[in-house]
Chains A and B, each alone.
Chain A
Amino acid sequence: MNDAPSGTAWQRLLTACGSAGPGDVRNQLRFALLCLAWGLTFIASVWLLRRTPDLSAPFVALAIALPGAMGIVVIRAYLKFLRNTDELLRKIQLEALALAFGVYALLSMTYPLLEAAGLLVLEVGDLFAAVMIVWALAQIYGTWRYR
């Protein structure tokens, strides 16, 4: 049987991991690198704002706007990846997003009640982390389900 897909070793490796082709691989890599850049920009901005409380207004605005702009770039990159990717991978991604959003809505509605009852106090980033974990786990489950 003709078992070997063509392309470079790098492309063959990513194809074996579930990517549909070079364009798909490129979009995934772009999204991953932009996520990394977004995270680093966010950390740098937080560090700058905490280390220099007497920062001038334009720099404060820049420190706030830059991670926001990076976030928009990441969202665009993810949408591009989603629109162009393999249709099964898109289904897995959309199901994972639906579950993550559902968990976010559930936690958002439940947390104020738990806090009011004095049962749970969370940091701002905890909810985001929980949603990201659900999203990641749902992707793993989806990949396993359609393996």
Chain B
Amino acid sequence: MKNRLKVLRAERDWSQAALAERLAVSRQTVNAIETGKYDPGLPLAFRIARLFGQPIESIFDPEEEQETA
């Protein structure tokens, strides 16, 4: 699933560690979501949406598979 997490994080000039702390997850989780290796569960997806003040569907796009590095 493609997502805009990296872009949204960069817009706020946050590091992965800083975002992980705000979401109460590990930095590894943030990195795995950004690179498309892992799709978050609903509770975490809602936390992300709430943190960035955007609807979930504007952050995560289920229609498009993200290419992993």
A→B interface (CB under 8 Å): 1-6, 15-16, 18-21, 86-89, 91, 143, 145-147
With an 8 A cutoff between CB atoms, is B26 at the interface? yes
Flag if A15 contacts B27 (CB, 8 Å).
Answer: yes
- How long is the Cα–Cα vector from A91 to B29 in the complex, in angstroms? 11
In the complex, are the beta carbons of B38 and A91 less than 8 A apart? yes
Give chain A residues whose Cβ lies under 8 Å from the Cβ of B24.
20-21
The answer to whether B26 and A89 have CB atoms under 8 Å apart is yes
Docked CA distance A19–B27 (Å): 8
| B side interface size, CB within 8 A | 20
The answer to whether B21 touches A5, judged by C-beta atoms less than 8 angstroms apart, is yes
- Collect the chain B residues with CB atoms within 8 Å of residue A2's CB: 13-15, 18
Check if B28 sits within 8 Å of A18, measured CB to CB: yes
A125 to chain B, nearest CB (A): 33
Assuming the A-B contacts A18-B28, A147-B31, are A87 and B14 also in contact, with contact meaning beta carbons closer than 8 angstroms in the complex? no
- In Å, the complex CA distance between A86 and B13 comes to 24
Whether B41 is near chain A, meaning CB under 8 Å from some CB there, is yes
Expressed in whole angstroms, the Cα–Cα distance for A117 and B27 within the complex equals 50
B7: interface (CB < 8 Å): no
In the bound complex, what is the Cα–Cα distance between A20 and B17 (angstroms)? 10
